[in-house]
Amino acid sequence: MTSIDALMRSVPVIPVLVIEDARHAEPIARALVDGGLTALEVTLRTSSALEVIRIMAQVEGAVVGAGTVLNERDLDAAMEAGAQFIVSPGLTDPLTKAAIGRGIPFLPGVANAADIMRGLDHGLDRFKFFPAEAAGGIKALKALTGPFGQVRFCPTGGISETTAPDWLAIPQVLCVGGSWVVPAGEPQPEAIRRAARVAAGLRRD
Ligand code: 3PG
Ligand code: 3PY
């Protein structure tokens, strides 16, 4: 199992996926991996999400994780479905303890200094900055990198193909998350592949 740091360094963009229909799972995962995006975050926001994780986990080259993991119950369901990493919009003590206890790579969301300090207390130093644009954008994240020099981030929330390069130019940003690569609705594999290729080609400083 790779560490969360290795996962964050493996791709500049982690697509955040909200998939309603499990029949879409395989074509979407194949298009993303073909385009060069191999770390896939399937949010537990739809009734088919666990089935989607199961299917995507079989796609060669895909490293499939679960997003919107809110508690220990979600954590166990996601792991049972085959999730290889866990993303949460926030950082709670019970979920953090459980994820560390299970030994699974864990990327909890932080939006301010207190969130980061709570994560550091648990021994974590890799976080999602969420909701990135609404929580103050690049200005806020840059301010947080001052006191927390060892921390690295995956900003997510309101980031687009256009703004991703500005975020990736921040040295403490290892990758960004975003839903733009896979728009809602009937999947268009060629369009997803194209968007993934552009995203996978973004440079980190
Ligand atoms: C989400 O909550 O789904 C994430 O913030 C990613 O979505 P967005 O890229 O559309 O903000
Ligand atoms: C999640 O749903 O896990 C988030 O962090 C928001 O994208």
Tens digit of each residue's pLDDT (9 = 90 or more) over 85-113: 999 999 999 999 999 999 999 999 999 99
For the question of residue 128 being annotated catalytic, the response is yes
pLDDT digits 0-9 by tens, 136-155: 999 999 999 999 999 999 99
For the chain, domains (ranges, CATH) are: 4-200 (3.20.20.70)
Cβ of 68 below 6 Å from ligand 2: yes
d(CA 161, CA 108): 23
Task: Give the number of the ligand closest to the Cα of residue 106.
Answer: 2
Averaged confidence pLDDT in the chain: 97
* The overall pTM is greater than 0.95: yes
Ligand 1 mean position, distance from CA 136 (Å): 15
Residue to substitute in 17, 95, 128 for testing ligand 2 pocket (most ligand atoms within 8 angstroms of CB): 128
Asked if 110 and 27 count as a contact pair (C-beta separation under 8 A), the reply is no
Task: Tell how strand 86-88 and strand 106-110 pair up.
Answer: parallel
d(CA 108, CA 51): 23
Question: With contact defined as beta carbons under 8 Å apart, do 196 and 34 qualify?
Answer: yes
List the end-to-end C-alpha distance of the chain, in Å, as a whole number. 26
**From the CB of 16, is ligand 2 less than 6 Å away?**
yes
DSSP for 53-121 reads HHHHTTSTT-EEEEES--SHHHHHHHHHHT-SSEEESS--HHHHHHHHHHT--EEEEE-SHHHHHHHHH
pLDDT in tens, 11-31: 999 999 999 999 999 999 999
Share of the chain above pLDDT 70, in %: 99
Pocket test of ligand 1: the residue of 159, 160, 163, 182 to mutate, having most ligand atoms within 8 Å of its CB, is: 159
For the chain, the residue count is 205
**Which residue's CA lies nearest to atom 5 of ligand 2?**
89
For residue 129, how far is its CA from the centre of ligand 1 (angstroms)? 11
Q: Is the pLDDT of residue 1 over 70?
A: no
Residue nearest to atom 1 of ligand 1 (CA): 157
43 C-alpha vs ligand 1 centroid, how far in Å? 10
Q: Which tokens sit at 67?
A: 């997003």
